[in-house]
Chain A
Amino acid sequence: MAASNNFYDLYRHGSLGLTLTDALDELIRDESITPQLAMKVLTQFDRVVAETLQEKVKARLTFKGSLDTYRFCDEVWTFLIRNVTFKMEGNQGTVVADKVKIVSCSAKRNEDK
């Protein structure tokens, strides 16, 4: 248990995490599982997501834009960037968005502990 606590619960706010939370909520409402068990599932999720992203994903991207807001609190960077252009590696093309929020935790703390 102790080891799995060292992973961020950051990814719970992505679509993968939100849908998992929804599904767990439904099961709790049906009284199929306990909230404690759901929490265990989420901590496992934190670990699996972090490991999977580290091991299975090789893609790179670059992006440019104009920074609207930045914030650094509790070792978490939050950027609000406007007019962003994402460039995929290779010839995958670009994606443009008028506004993107970046929430980013320190990679070092994760590895240290």
Chain B
Amino acid sequence: MSNVHVGPVYESVIQGVIDAVRVDFEENGVEDGVLEDLKKKWQMKLSQLNVAQFPWDPKPDQPSTAQPAAPPAPVPQAAPPPVAAYTQSTLSPQTTAQPLSLPNNIQPHSNGIPIKQEPGLARSEPVPIKQEPGTTSQPMHPGYNNPPHPNMAAARAAAALQNKFGDGAAASINAIHNGMVGQVNPAQAQQQQQQGHQQQHPQQQHPQQQYQQSVANQMQQRMQQQAQQAQQRGIAPNGLPNAQTDGPSDECWEAVMMRRNAEGQAVEMGRVEIDDLLHAQIAARAKQMEGGGLMLPLKQATKTRSLDNKKSRATAGPSQVDGGDDDIKDEDLDDDAINSDLDDSDDNKEDDDEEDDMGHMMLCMYDKVQRVKNKWYCTLKDGVLTVNGKEYVFHKATGEYEW
């Protein structure tokens, strides 16, 4: 019996439950991502309780990266190949360099200069690499492609989005459809998105122009100038390489968050991953600020509130009934009061007791409970014990106590 065993046992319970309900989730048409979400939430809440050391605790920041990552050993070996690829591609005759439309001072035919330009080229090298995830859009929506019936799931998701958000969800639905059909035409989706932006533009800019037309014009001119300059340099107005953005002139652009996987390559993070990351950080900050004081379990929080309500009702109730006689003291009122008030105070006591017990509780099965006079003997098994903020699990426990 020790606290050390709790982590692995809980871990296997969680895994067991997740595995057991996977079929139910599929039958209900719920995606695998939700199941993973449930698991993460469950583990996170357990960690917050801080009742034991859990296997997933040491790396709470990136639980998702730990699973797909390859064992750490091959990392140094795997690192060199990308470098080699870069040098090969940059040294090989001009194929990748041409679409970049670098400034005119490059002399394409002399072999010496491209080598000098290498750092610049290498830096813009990610352009063709990044393009892939953007066009296929698969990494952004891993959940849509995983289930056994991806088309059904995607169609259902699209329908749900349509129901919920109406036309506002057009972009997301397009993304789903793209994922469903494959990589049919992302360009179309982009066009539709652009159209959407353009339709929104006049509405947004109209009041602005009414108020400060000149300023807006100046801004636009400046932005256009900047955009032109940037395009000459082969960079879109938002600072990202040209090939990745939706289009040349729209001001809204999707941010893409990257992280490095085990091989040091940048990988796009999905929306869910980013959300989880943000949520974890916000939760951690909230806990810091409040010192954990307000982060009580839901049950406790509601319990205290209902207690307060009861108390206020107990004090406020009699005075209302009695009417205008303000001189009578509260104690007198209590003496005169009917049984319900007494019951209330009793209830409060009981509740207080139970509330205290929240921290010290044993849940188990009993094999035998015996009593000889005032001595009790009991044999318990398969239990979970919570004492002093720590949890223990046991297979068998024997207890002796006097009444």
| A107-B24 contact in complex given A16-B13, A56-B12, C-beta closer than 8 Å | no
**B25 sits at the interface (CB 8 A):** yes
Among A23, A34, A67, which residue has its beta carbon within 8 angstroms of that of B45? A23
The prevalent SS among residues of A at the interface is: mixed
| A80-B9 contact in complex given A23-B41, A33-B28, A63-B399, C-beta closer than 8 Å | no
Q: Which of B10, B383, B392 has the most CB of A within 10 A?
A: B383
The interface bits of chain B over 247-289 (1 if a CB of A lies within 8 angstroms of the residue's CB, else 0) are 0000000000000000000000000000000000000000000
Please, how many angstroms separate the alpha-carbon atoms of A22 and B300 in the complex? 13
Q: Are B380 and A104 in contact (CB under 8 A)?
A: yes
Q: Are B386 and A92 in contact (CB under 8 A)?
A: no
A48-65 interface (Cβ within 8 A of B): 48-54, 56-65
B40-68 interface (Cβ within 8 A of A): 41-42, 45-46, 49, 51
Q: Are A23 and B42 in contact (CB under 8 A)?
A: yes
Please, how many angstroms separate the alpha-carbon atoms of A92 and B394 in the complex? 13
Interface size on B, residues (CB 8 A): 65
Q: Are B12 and A52 in contact (CB under 8 A)?
A: yes
Q: Which of B12, B49, B361 has the most CB of A within 10 A?
A: B361
Q: How large is the interface on A (under 10, 10 to 19, 20 to 34, 35 or more residues)?
A: 35 or more
Closest to B379 in A: A107
In the assembled complex, the CB of B328 is this many whole angstroms from the nearest CB of chain A, namely: 37
Among A27, A40, A54, A77, which residue has its beta carbon within 8 angstroms of that of B366? A77
| A60-B365 contact in complex given A15-B386, A16-B46, C-beta closer than 8 Å | no
Q: Are B391 and A15 in contact (CB under 8 A)?
A: yes
Please, how many angstroms separate the alpha-carbon atoms of A108 and B399 in the complex? 19
The interface bits of chain A over 54-84 (1 if a CB of B lies within 8 angstroms of the residue's CB, else 0) are 1011111111111100101000010111001
**B351 sits at the interface (CB 8 A):** no
**B310 sits at the interface (CB 8 A):** no
**B323 sits at the interface (CB 8 A):** no
Q: Are A58 and B401 in contact (CB under 8 A)?
A: no
**A95 sits at the interface (CB 8 A):** yes
**B334 sits at the interface (CB 8 A):** no
**B16 sits at the interface (CB 8 A):** yes
Q: Are B38 and A48 in contact (CB under 8 A)?
A: no
Please, how many angstroms separate the alpha-carbon atoms of A101 and B353 in the complex? 10
| A59-B393 contact in complex given A53-B384, A101-B362, A103-B363, C-beta closer than 8 Å | yes
| A18-B366 contact in complex given A53-B395, A67-B402, C-beta closer than 8 Å | no
In the assembled complex, the CB of B264 is this many whole angstroms from the nearest CB of chain A, namely: 34
Q: Are A53 and B21 in contact (CB under 8 A)?
A: no
**B206 sits at the interface (CB 8 A):** no
| A15-B365 contact in complex given A57-B5, A66-B403, A86-B387, C-beta closer than 8 Å | no
Q: Are A52 and B13 in contact (CB under 8 A)?
A: yes
Q: Are A101 and B397 in contact (CB under 8 A)?
A: no
In the assembled complex, the CB of B147 is this many whole angstroms from the nearest CB of chain A, namely: 14
Q: Are A97 and B28 in contact (CB under 8 A)?
A: no
**B91 sits at the interface (CB 8 A):** no
**B396 sits at the interface (CB 8 A):** yes
| Contact residues in A for B386 (Cβ distance below 8 Å) | 14-15
| Contact residues in B for A58 (Cβ distance below 8 Å) | 395
| Contact residues in B for A53 (Cβ distance below 8 Å) | 9, 382-384, 393, 395
Q: Are A105 and B399 in contact (CB under 8 A)?
A: no
In the assembled complex, the CB of A18 is this many whole angstroms from the nearest CB of chain B, namely: 6
Closest to B400 in A: A64
Q: Are A95 and B366 in contact (CB under 8 A)?
A: no
Which of B's residues lie within 8 Å of A, judged by CB?
Answer: 1-2, 5, 8-10, 12-13, 16-17, 20-21, 24-25, 28, 30, 34, 37-38, 41-42, 45-46, 49, 51, 297-299, 353, 356-357, 360-367, 369, 376, 378, 380-388, 390-403
